[in-house]
Structure 1
Amino acid sequence: MISIKLTSVAVDDQARGRAFYVDKLGFQVKHDIPMGPVSWLTVVSPADPDGVELSIEPGGQRPEFRKFQDWMREQGIPWTAFAVDDIDAEYARLTGLGVEFRSPPADMGPTRGCTLDDGCGNLIMLYQG
């Protein structure tokens, strides 16, 4: 059986990524191991600290990465998606923290969702469902 224990999001600035994913989204740091100018940095949901880890990967120094990241944004494709219990409450909370959204929550078939800008070059979808 295969299970997901680690996934990643590549950011153009790891320190800014840490601040966004911890201070705004509310994840907590699981690992922060210095590796030269960057870190092995993972965060987890405080609701499941032994659950899936999200690695905040440094990518901004690589032109290939930047090209792919720009293409994803231009196409409106989120890098990943996070589930929330109440999309409208989360939208209000994050908007109050200054997080920029592409649009407010909307019905998407059997779920509701919206897409935010992580300030590190990525779009991230939030969905309730």
Structure 2
Amino acid sequence: MKIYITSVFVDDQAKAREFYTKVLGFVVKHDIPVGEDSWLTLTSPDALAGPELLLEPSGHPAVAPFREALVSDGIPFTSFAVEDVNAEYERMLALGVVFTQPPTEMGPVTTAVFDDTCGNLIQLSNYKD
């Protein structure tokens, strides 16, 4: 068994596509119109055949209270691995990304948390052996 696809709820797929591709560097794998929305998935440029991230519309009534609770408590919805959290933090700050937690070392893991502009907090992390 392996991870095939995971979702991030977004308020606006076009805005999310712009942020997740231009700022985070993901690439579009699928963009298939489905009614008013799209089946819009992204992959890492380093793993085009790897797991996909679905930018899923947040219209379901359960999504808003769930996301609001996470953001209110400062809890990231998901985590993306990077080689160097500090370098990625500096790169993204220069692009205007808002961080709610600067790079923080927690034993062998360094994390930082940012606002994805689409309703979510996202964590960057790297693990050092």
The TM-score bracket by the shorter chain reads: over 0.9
Q: Which residue of 1 aligns with 2:53?
A: 54
Aligned pair count reads 127
What residue ranges of structure 1 are gaps of 5+ in the alignment? none
2:108 is the counterpart of 1:103 = no
- TM-score, length of structure 2 as denominator length: 0.94
- 1:103 shift after superposition: 2.4
In angstroms, what is the RMSD of aligned CA positions?
A: 0.9
Measured against aligned partners, the alpha-carbon deviations of 1:86-124 in whole angstroms (never above 9, x if no partner) come to: 111100111111111012101022111100000111000
Return structure 1 stretches of 4+ with deviation > 6 angstroms. none
Partner of 2:69: 71
Scaled by the length of structure 1, what TM-score is found? 0.94
Task: State the percentage of identical aligned residues.
Answer: 50
Q: Deviations over 1:1-48 (max 9, x none)?
A: x21011111111111111111111000000000111100000000011
Distance 1:90 1:5 in 2: 25
> Residues 1-129 of structure 1 correspond to what in structure 2 (within 5 A)?
2-59=1-58, 61-129=59-127
